[in-house]
Amino acid sequence: MPKNLKLKVARTMKDMTQKDLAEAVGVSRQTMNAIERGDYYPSVKLCIEICKVLGKTLDELFWEI
């Protein structure tokens, strides 16, 4: 699975660590790490939570072309 660099960029733009983002959306740091590394595709519910925290749309963070 490809790495989700868009998520990593959006997170760093917000000056958040993986732990900060994980706490904000209510998951563990390991889960957030797995999502960024592309090892795990999160549920739509979790994707929406992440988008809300980072102020991005689903397309901007999770759509692959």
Partner 1 sequence: MKKLDELQLLKRGNVFKHGLFLLGGLVLLNSFLTNNDILLINERWSPVLMVLITVAACSIELISLDIYPLTQRRQRLLIYFVGLFGMLSIAISIYEMINSKIPFSINKQVTEEGLGIILGCIFISITLTYIIKSYLNTKLNDEDI
The footprint of partner 1 (CB under 8 A) covers 12, 17-19, 26-31, 34, 40, 42-43, 46
Q: How far is the CB of 61 from partner 1 (least distance, A)?
A: 17
CB 43 within 8 A of CB 50: no
Maximum distance among all Cα pairs of the chain, rounded to whole angstroms: 29
Min dist CB 64 to partner 1, Å, is 20
**Residue 15 tokens, joined:** 């000056």
Question: 25 or 61, CB closer to partner 1?
Answer: 25
Name the residue with tokens 């090892």.
Answer: 39
Kindly state the smallest distance separating residue 35's Cβ from partner 1, in Å.
8
Which amino acid belongs to residue 25? Answer: V
